[in-house]
Amino acid sequence: MKWTVLGLLAFVALLASVMLGPAAVPLAQLAHSDIVWNLRAPRAVLAFLVGGSLGVAGAALQALVRNPLADPFLLGLSGGAGLGAVLAIALHVSGPWALPIAAFAGALAALGLVYRLGLIGGAALDPRILLLGGVAIGAFAAAITTAIVSLANAAELRNTFLWLWGGLSGASWDAVLLVALYAPIPLAVLLAAARPLDLLALGEEPARYLGADVEAVKRRVYLAASLLTAAAVAVSGVIGFVGLVVPHIARLTWGHRHRALLPAAFLGGGALLAFADTLARTVVAPRELPVGVVTALIGVPVFAFLLRRWTIA
Amino acid sequence: MLRLDGVSYRYPGASRDALTDVSLSVGLGEFHAVLGPNGSGKTTLVRIALGALPPLVGSADIDRRPASMWPRQDLAKLVGVVPQREDNLFPQRVRETVLLGRYPHLSLWGRERPEDHAAVDRALAACDARHLADRWVWTLSGGEYQRVRVARALAQEPKLLVLDEPGISLDLKHEMELFELVRGLVERQGLGVLMITHDLNLAARFADSLLLLEGGRPIASGAPAEVLTQQTVETVFSWPVAMQTIEGRPQMIPLRKPKESQA
């Protein structure tokens, strides 16, 4: 029943984002319209894939860092991606994929630094240090980014910032193909870690005695969730709150067993982002809001509500 | 089944050994208790016995294989553990938490099978916790919670059960019930049990063999009557005691210090 509802929700979100837009496309011509086929459809699919990836990454990271209020972007990746993109522009690197590649590289660099910080004594990965290190690296990268922007002062850089704060306007079938080929690998890694993640919720020592290979699981989960997030930020910028709110709502309905939770977070995240992107395109048409603004406008009140609920319970 | 042979361990950066030359052997159908004051190395001993730490000197084997070499999933089918501390990050029902004990038996992508649910039911029944199955874990009393954790370890269908201070913060009735439960598992199911505790009297009543540690060194080991003598207990715990025998087992009664020595 709940799966049917979720599946239906995902379908409606996808359908709405294909049907709705500033240009009115009659229902009968939907399948033949260039606007639909070249603009809306790849954008809807990309939004779905990115939102789903963020939902899964968020759910897995919350279990890993043992903090139910963690967001995938807390781990410094957005800062790194922003720095990468701004550097690319400041250094006049051009080409259609320059920004995504630079952002991805920046996110990977941040990921590597945070991971290295989290490895205490070179052996055990400490999730608390991952969280703190992520915040620190993210702030550091943001500071450098701001320095570059304030020194360069070019109009282009403003666009980078806009791009960085969430936009699926660059969506194309190429981008969809790239994500569709890339994302399944980290997604499968996380799904395979579903049971060890259940055990990890008890703490590392009990998890070990219940058969989890704790160190390997922590590394795998951190890397896979971060690689998902890095790809998401590269194709669509920083889209906050999907990775935070969606796992939460999924937990309320599906409980805390990751074998059900992760697929639910994928469908839920996909549906939410496809829906948010439709709003972003349509509410102030013909102009467009960054989708990160829409997810924040939806997500922050939900988050505040959850926070209250969590602290009272 | 579980065997420590001349084990010594020192934590990195520590100035003295946490364990020095400790030996211990737990077979099936045997109940062993490890006793000692705080900081005597009891928890380090458990970590080494379970392969979470490799011994610096000596050997720690489970089923004739070095404990730290076991793949954790295989070991979890053989040894069930009730750790001293754990915290549930997320709210969970009793049946769900006991089902975690079946995880070592499940294949990577496979679902839980009917036999897994049957094992959960058996484990709950063995711990007299079947009526708790649908309760939230956080609503349980301390005694109920410990029984559920033992049930989770039993759901692993282990040959060996390791409990780290299971009686802590339990009242008299619940602590007795827990010890009776563990003793019953030893006798009815032939489990080997290794229990860390600092309750000398209950250990003496229920265990077949005691190992007394002080500062990481084995002070005495063997049958309760051999280990718990007035002299040994007073030396190890630095407190005057009187000893009595109840149901054939030595029992310790701490004495008040004489008035003049309190000053």
With an 8 Å Cβ cutoff, is A202 touching chain B? yes
| Spatial contact of B207 and B194, defined as CB atoms under 8 Å apart | no
CATH code: domain of residue B180:
3.40.50.300
Asked if residue B262 has pLDDT above 70, the reply is no
Residue B206 inside a domain? The answer is: yes
In a domain, B44, yes or no: yes
**A256 with B91: Cβ contact below 8 A:** yes
Region label for A92, one of left (φ > 0), alpha (ψ between -120 and 50) or beta (otherwise): left
> Residue B219 in 3-state DSSP?
strand
pLDDT at A59: 94
Q: Which residues of B touch A (CB under 8 A)?
A: 50, 52, 71-77, 79-81, 83, 85-92, 96, 100-101, 103-104, 106, 108-109, 152, 156
Judge contact between B19 and B216, C-beta under 8 A: yes
Contact B76 A211 (CB under 8 A): yes
CB contact under 8 A, A63 and B89: yes
Report how far residue B126's alpha carbon sits from residue B177's, in angstroms, rounded to the nearest whole number. 12
- Give the residue-averaged pLDDT of A272-296: 88
Evaluate whether A114 touches A75 at the Cβ level (below 8 Å): yes
| Beta carbons of A256 and A198 less than 8 angstroms apart | yes
What's the angle, vertex CA A115, arms to CA A112 and CA A120, rounded to 5? 140
Question: By the 8 A CB rule, do B28 and B13 touch?
Answer: no
**Number of domains forming the structure of chain B:** 1
pLDDT confidence of residue A192: 95
> Residue B197 falls within a domain, yes or no?
yes
B192 in any annotated domain: yes
Mean pLDDT, all residues of chain B: 91
Q: Report pLDDT digits (tens) over A218-265.
A: 999 999 999 999 999 888 888 888 998 899 888 888 888 999 999 999
Residues from chain B that touch A206, judged by Cβ atoms under 8 A, are 81, 83, 86
pLDDT digits (tens, 9 = 90+) for B68-107: 999 999 999 999 999 988 888 888 899 999 999 999 999 8
Q: Does B170 reside within a domain?
A: yes
Distances A88 to A98, A141, A145, B152, B171 between C-alpha atoms, Å = 7, 14, 11, 54, 66
* Alpha carbons A103 and A237: distance in angstroms, whole number: 8
Which of A96, A98, A130 is closest to A111 using CA atoms? A130
Give yes or no for residue B263 having a pLDDT over 50.
Answer: no
Span B50-55, average pLDDT: 92
Give the alpha-carbon dihedral of A163, A165, A169, A175, to 10 degrees. Answer: 80
Q: Mind listing the pLDDT tens digit for each residue in A121-163?
A: 667 788 888 888 898 999 999 899 888 888 776 676 676 777 6
On whether residue B142 sits in a domain, the answer given is no
Q: What domains sit in chain A, N to C, each tagged with a CATH number?
A: 34-312 (1.10.3470.10)
The reply to whether B11 falls in a domain is yes
**Structure tokens, A22:** 């500033």
Residue B103 inside a domain? The answer is no
Beta strand pairing status for B192-196 and B160-164? Answer: parallel
Nearest to A209 among B81, B92, B108 (CB): B81
Tokens of B239: 């407190």
| Half-sphere exposure of residue A20: CA atoms within 13 angstroms, side-chain side | 17
pLDDT at A296 over 50: yes
Q: Which of B52, B89, B152 comes nearest A68 by C-beta? A: B89
CA distances from B155 to A149, B27, B139, B168, B210 (A): 59, 20, 21, 23, 27
Least CB–CB distance from A201: residue in B81, B90, B156? B90
* Domain housing B255: 2-85+158-262
Beta-bridged to residue A126, according to DSSP, are none
Asked if residue A84 lies in contact with residue A103, where contact means CB atoms within 8 angstroms, the answer is: yes
Contacts of A199 in chain B (CB under 8 A): 100, 103
